């Protein structure tokens, strides 16, 4: 009831400010509760921290709106209390004058009233006036008592508004401190995660290189027996070539090296792949089913699918040089046969974006083939 009175007596701007502040506080509180619920349900730590930070920000907005509402309420209460005091003073003035007249009449000696002519008539007149005025005095007294009670309620409301203002300011300080602490914890956590990520990235690179070496060693050990068996099954030594005709191995040092297929280079020697392994050759993006040729002359020592690498052909060029062509679908080369530079080895796969990789090695070490391509 008191709030309705205050709103009715206050200027429209103050009423609107108070109502808007209360609506803003309620809306911010509602958003904060929803965000806190979302934070409790979030599984990811980063998402949970982000939502909690947003919830604290909404609580800060609610506290600021409550402070605005408390200040508006205090201003309205002070204005209404001043108006009540003025009204009380106006209503008390006639009663105070009447009481003063009655006190003056009461202090008048009775003998003097009898001795003076007309005193009895005056007494009768005064009593008649009092009989008429008394109901009015009683009514005004009730109004004065109501104004006094209203003033007391206004004073209590002013105290409550001051307390609400202090509580809102205290809450604002608490929420701001909570936000600072939350942001500090997130910065510390982020720095820790960055350091951990850097350490794990270096570790992943090292493990990737180690895994590649182990795969190569395992593949070599696994296939050594098969290669030896295949070589043992070959016919005896070839007759010595006629004078002037050189073997493919002897020609490797002078003949230019070539890429095994036409295509776009998508990965070069030493580049870091998404899995953290450095490339040991050149990877080409070729057309589906593209013809794959021998990069240089030599003897086929391995030609079959190998694990998830697809078809693999290894050519021994002699003098410690060898090439591995990886990613074939159909293989045309046969183990033990010799090939000239540019001889067909097979075809690339027919799927989307097929890739062919060629690795050149010198006594087991990867070599940059770019300087040998002619």
Structure tokens at 181: 């602490």
Class of the CATH-defined domain 249-371 = mainly beta
pLDDT of residue 5: 43
- Better pLDDT: 310 or 242: 310
Mean pLDDT for the stretch of residues 341-364: 90
pLDDT band at 209 (very low <50, low <70, confident <90, very high): low
The structure's pTM equals: 0.37
- What number of other Cβ atoms are within 10 A of residue 189's Cβ? 13
Phi, psi angle pair for 227, to nearest 5°: -65, -45
Q: What share of the chain is helix, strand, coil (3-state, %, to 5)?
A: 60, 15, 20
Residue 315: is it exposed, middle or buried by C-beta count within 10 angstroms (0-12/13-18/19+)? buried
Mean pLDDT for the stretch of residues 299-310: 90
pLDDT of residue 287: 93
- 6-20, 26-40, 278-292, 347-361: least confidently modelled range: 6-20
- 19-23, 207-211, 282-286: least confidently modelled range: 207-211
- Better pLDDT: 173 or 225: 173
In whole angstroms, give the CA distance from residue 298 to residue 103.
139
Mean pLDDT for the stretch of residues 314-325: 92
Mean pLDDT for the stretch of residues 216-220: 55
pLDDT score of 60 more than 80: yes
- What number of other Cβ atoms are within 10 A of residue 105's Cβ? 13
pLDDT of residue 245: 37
pLDDT of residue 133: 62
pLDDT score of 166 more than 50: yes
Of 82, 101, 100, 91, nearest to 142 (Cα)?
91
Phi, psi angle pair for 293, to nearest 5°: -115, 165
- For residue range 102-130, list pLDDT tens digits in order: 666 555 555 555 555 555 555 566 666 66
pLDDT score of 298 more than 90: yes
In whole angstroms, give the CA distance from residue 202 to residue 81.
73
- Contact (CB, 8 A) for 321 and 360: yes
pLDDT band at 356 (very low <50, low <70, confident <90, very high): very high
pLDDT of residue 247: 42
- For residue range 6-57, list pLDDT tens digits in order: 444 445 576 777 788 778 878 877 887 887 777 677 666 667 777 777 877 8
- What number of other Cβ atoms are within 10 A of residue 331's Cβ? 19
Handedness of CA 348, 352, 353, 359 (dihedral sign): negative
Which of 68-82, 258-272, 321-335 is most confident? Answer: 321-335
Structure tokens at 23: 């609506």
Q: What is the mean pLDDT of the chain?
A: 73
In whole angstroms, give the CA distance from residue 118 to residue 37.
89
In whole angstroms, give the CA distance from residue 360 to residue 374.
15
Ranges of each domain in the chain: 2-199, 249-371
pLDDT of residue 82: 77
In whole angstroms, give the CA distance from residue 295 to residue 129.
134
- For residue range 124-160, list pLDDT tens digits in order: 666 666 666 667 666 666 766 776 777 677 677 777 7
């Amino acid at each position: 009831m008191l709030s309705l009175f205050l709103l009715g007596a206050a200027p429209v701007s103050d009423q609107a400010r108070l109502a808007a502040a209360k609506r803003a506080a309620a809306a911010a509180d509602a958003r904060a509760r929803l965000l806190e619920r979302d934070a409790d349900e979030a599984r990811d730590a980063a998402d949970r921290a982000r939502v909690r930070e947003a919830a604290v920000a909404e609580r800060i907005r609610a506290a600021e709106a409550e402070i605005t509402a408390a200040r508006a309420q205090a201003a309205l209460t002070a204005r209404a209390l001043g108006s009540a005091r003025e009204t009380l003073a106006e209503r008390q003035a006639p009663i105070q004058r009447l009481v003063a007249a009655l006190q003056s009449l009461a202090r008048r000696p009775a003998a003097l009233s009898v001795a003076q002519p007309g005193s009895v008539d005056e007494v009768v007149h005064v009593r008649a006036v009092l009989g008429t005025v008394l109901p009015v005095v009683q009514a005004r007294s009730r109004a004065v008592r109501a104004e006094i009670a209203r003033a007391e309620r206004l004073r209590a409301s002013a105290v409550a508004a001051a307390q609400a203002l202090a509580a809102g300011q205290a809450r604002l300080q608490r929420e701001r401190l909570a936000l600072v602490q939350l942001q500090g914890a997130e910065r510390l956590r982020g720095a820790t995660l960055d350091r951990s990520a850097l350490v794990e990235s270096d570790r992943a690179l090292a493990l990737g290189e180690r895994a590649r070496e182990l795969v190569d060693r395992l593949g070599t050990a696994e296939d050594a027996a098969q290669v030896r068996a295949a070589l043992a099954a070959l016919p005896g030594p070839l007759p010595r070539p006629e004078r002037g005709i050189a073997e493919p191995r002897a020609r490797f040092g002078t003949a230019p090296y070539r890429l095994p297929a036409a295509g776009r280079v998508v990965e070069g020697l030493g580049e870091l792949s998404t899995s953290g392994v450095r490339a040991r050759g050149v990877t080409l993006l070729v057309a589906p089913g593209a013809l794959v040729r021998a990069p240089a002359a030599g003897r086929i020592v391995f030609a079959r699918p190998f694990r998830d690498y697809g078809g693999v052909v290894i050519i021994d060029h002699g003098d410690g040089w060898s090439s591995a062509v990886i990613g074939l679908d159909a293989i045309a080369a046969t183990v033990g046969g010799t090939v000239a530079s540019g001889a067909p080895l097979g075809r690339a796969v027919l799927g989307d974006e097929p890739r062919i990789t060629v690795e050149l090695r010198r006594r087991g070490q990867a070599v940059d083939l770019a300087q040998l391509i002619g």
